A = this chain, B = another copy of it.
Amino acid sequence: MSGSSFGKLFKITTWGESHGKGVGVVIDGCPAGLSLSENDIQKFLDIRKPGQNEFTTLRNEDDKVEILSGTFEGKTTGTPISLIVYNKDHHSTDYGNIASCYRPGHADYTYDEKYGFRDYRGGGRSSGRETIGRVAAGAVAIKILNELGINFCTYVNSIGELSIDKNNFDKEEINKNPFYMPDALCASKASDYLKNIIKESDSVGSSVECIISGVPAGIGEPVFDKLDALLAQAVMSIGAVKAVEIGDGLSVTNRLGSENNDNFHMNNNNVEKTSNHSGGILGGISDGSDIILKASFKPTPSIFKEQQTVTSDKQDTTLSIKGRHDPIIGPRAVVVVESMCAITILDLMLQNTGTKLSNLKKIYN
């Protein structure tokens, strides 16, 4: 199986290549009775759409989504929701030397090794366009979670050496700058920083943070399907992610237990934690505080500098990639990270509904 499905009860299956006829997703197991229109999904796709500013690829795509099944009179019916986005800008026939040689940092070589050959047009299945299906499905999951009181705040945390200053954190700012940074000053610096990197024909790494509030305590399965374990799979499965952290992440390695444990206390008859180093998860199960996740993205592997590589028929060569590519991945990945987190959480919430016999009786008696 090529592993194109994710989730047990809210299960998505994505399909499509960069330069095939289109890309899409089938959502199986969406609860019935949700109001859903194409516009609910489109607004999420518009965030990751290419060509929106000088920092993204020039590829010209509308990325208009069409609902093919699973809704009736504006509501989800509980049957599979098939969503499609036709590729518009896929007619070019000149793929230059990509067809015959392996781009460093890309999956050309590994696809050839795995499958014996590959669809070399624009990266084929390994293209970033594969995430369109994730975002379309994520839009549906987020809509349901919102109805259950769960909300997302996702943003770019750092670009190269520039990190946001938490003291400047302004949620409203996120959608106001092309980098989806919650810190106007940092975004402004990033603009100059990136212009210089583009000038150097290079690219740079970045990180994305996702904070999820309102998840009730008790979500996540205690062993292999821990909430944090499935979030790690979900987010690491996004191309270019090289690290996933939960809560304080990497920094816990040189911390004392007495510093890192979050104490509990009562607040108005609610159990609360005095701090949230754990990022809202204890033993793989949500603890009712904010869930915090960070993803580290490598620099875009498509750079214009000449690189050493080999051809498909195993000769040394050099390669200069043409076209315009995003010099950073983070900003367009913000909505992808958010989508994958939403799908993961909704799926675990559905799995959890019958965990207590008392809940089963609530539904069936």
In contact, B364 and A349 (Cβ under 8 angstroms): yes
Chain B contacts for A260, CB-based, 8 A: 105, 205, 298-299, 301
- Of B9, B23, B115, B263, which one neighbours A309 at CB under 8 angstroms? B263
With contacts A15-B82, A257-B203, A351-B1 taken as known, whether A363 is within 8 angstroms of B357 at the C-beta atoms is no
- Tell me if A92 counts as interface (CB < 8 A to partner B): no
Chain B contacts for A235, CB-based, 8 A: 232
With contacts A244-B244, A257-B300, A283-B107 taken as known, whether A354 is within 8 angstroms of B350 at the C-beta atoms is yes
- Tell me if A176 counts as interface (CB < 8 A to partner B): no
Chain B contacts for A296, CB-based, 8 A: 245, 249-250, 252-253
In contact, B237 and A242 (Cβ under 8 angstroms): no
In contact, A359 and B355 (Cβ under 8 angstroms): no
Chain B contacts for A283, CB-based, 8 A: 106-107, 110-111, 126, 239
Q: Which of A28-36, A54-62, A182-190 contacts B (4 or more CB under 8 A)?
A: A28-36
Task: Report the Cα distance A253→B296, complex, angstroms.
Answer: 6
With contacts A265-B308, A266-B315 taken as known, whether A257 is within 8 angstroms of B299 at the C-beta atoms is yes
- Tell me if A119 counts as interface (CB < 8 A to partner B): yes
Chain B contacts for A144, CB-based, 8 A: 357, 360
- Tell me if A258 counts as interface (CB < 8 A to partner B): yes
- Tell me if A331 counts as interface (CB < 8 A to partner B): no
Chain B contacts for A147, CB-based, 8 A: 357, 361
Shortest Cβ distance from A243 into chain B, in angstroms? 4
- Tell me if A178 counts as interface (CB < 8 A to partner B): no
- Of B79, B109, B124, B220, which one neighbours A17 at CB under 8 angstroms? B79
- Tell me if A254 counts as interface (CB < 8 A to partner B): yes
What is the 8 Å Cβ interface bit string for chain A, positions 270-312, against chain B (1 contact, 0 not)? Answer: 0100100111011111111000000011111111010111100
Oligomer copy total: 4
In contact, B263 and A237 (Cβ under 8 angstroms): no
Using C-beta atoms within 8 Å of the partner chain, give the interface range for chain A. 35 or more
Chain B contacts for A114, CB-based, 8 A: 32, 78, 217-220, 222, 285, 352, 355
With contacts A82-B15, A233-B233, A356-B115 taken as known, whether A245 is within 8 angstroms of B246 at the C-beta atoms is no
- Tell me if A130 counts as interface (CB < 8 A to partner B): yes
In contact, B247 and A246 (Cβ under 8 angstroms): no
- Tell me if A53 counts as interface (CB < 8 A to partner B): no
The A311-365 residues at the B interface (CB cut-off 8 A) are 314-316, 349-365
Q: Which of A40-48, A67-75, A166-174 contacts B (4 or more CB under 8 A)?
A: A67-75
- Of B148, B256, B357, which one neighbours A204 at CB under 8 angstroms? B256
Shortest Cβ distance from A89 into chain B, in angstroms? 16
CB-based nearest B residue for A102:
B264
- Tell me if A141 counts as interface (CB < 8 A to partner B): no
- Of B2, B160, B360, which one neighbours A80 at CB under 8 angstroms? B2
- Tell me if A195 counts as interface (CB < 8 A to partner B): no
In contact, B287 and A22 (Cβ under 8 angstroms): no
In contact, A228 and B217 (Cβ under 8 angstroms): no
Q: Other than the known A3-B28, A16-B68, what 16 A-B pairs have Cβ atoms closer than 8 Å?
A: A4-B80, A24-B68, A26-B26, A102-B271, A107-B284, A111-B283, A114-B285, A114-B352, A114-B355, A125-B223, A229-B233, A242-B279, A243-B249, A245-B296, A252-B298, A265-B309
Q: Which 6 A-B pairs have the closest CB atoms?
A: A107-B283, A3-B225, A3-B221, A1-B29, A203-B257, A233-B233
